[in-house]
Structure 1
Amino acid sequence: MKHQEQIIIEKMKNGDESGLRHMFDIYYSPLCILAMRYLDAFDVAEDLVQEVFINFWENKRIHSLNSSLKSYLFTAVKNNALNYIRKNNRYRIEELDDEFDILMEELDTDVLEEKKAKLFMELDQLSEQSRKVFEAIVFDNMKYKEVAEELDVSLNTIKTHFSRALKQLRSSLDIIILIMLS
């Protein structure tokens, strides 16, 4: 991942929009899942993530980046989600704020395997269609459009199934993000 991050950074420093596309391809879905840890609506999560990407590109944040790109993006999405919650008075922030820390640290292999086992048990509780959509996006790294074409359903149907799956799997979102980024 570090090598890909360096490529993205170099492209973006040179004003090459393909760096933005590459960053989007790698981080968009995991960041949306992170936002879902804080929010109830997948469309709001997507909007917040898109705002982070737009702000990063338009304000040329790449030139003042002091941490890893991953850390910056995850922190920015977390902060945007918490600001959204504060603005809309939805949850108690203190309870949610600590959940983010696990994503920024390395997990013990045993803990990781335990969390994966829990995730797979929870996957069995999903409807067949939601499970197929979730597995295609998370495990097969497919785009929404590709999944829609493969399952012969609309893009909105894919988003709905993915959103439902994420809501049901809320307690395992941290491991889902780690799987997507590994």
Structure 2
Amino acid sequence: METLTYQDENMHVVQRCREGDNRAQYELYKLYAKAMFNVSMRITNDYAEAEDVLQEAFISAFKNIHAYKGEASFGSWLKKIVVNAAINSIRKRKAELVPIEDRMAETVADEVYEDETEWQVEKVRRAIQKLPDGYRVVLSLYLLEGFDHAEIAEILGVTESTSKSQYCRARKKLLEILHEPAFAAYEV
């Protein structure tokens, strides 16, 4: 039986990066920046912080590109770097914690969502933003980024059961937020 090996379609660009080609770095940045920013934003819940995390992650990836062995896609490898950088950023800010309600004071967008599904997605996105950091991180890693609880436990340095319980609590809290009278009546 023949074994299949993974071949990353961007491996030629990665190889050029390894050889010190700055244009190849820019190509990789253009290919992955938007997706990696979204990952960072879902975890940090702060635009400026997500941008900083993105830059740090790319710098780290380019410094350590020799460590990429091609066993998975470059995007998967980079995503792990972004997730770790975002979590480290959250840990750094723990010392300066501000109640979530104070941080989330934002104006409602003036946009009118024509599609009911789009409105519901926006409502859930805003409810996720209201979750405390620990809940939001586990929920985002599990539901949105596709990590399993063993991987989340390893990333966060906790037990798998802690990851599972945080996820259950996050789901419960998310439902509470969505059913709050002021939030349930919320219209974008």
Q: TM-score if structure 2 supplies the norm length?
A: 0.48
Larger Rg: 2
| Greater relative contact order structure (CA < 8 Å, 6+ sep) | 1
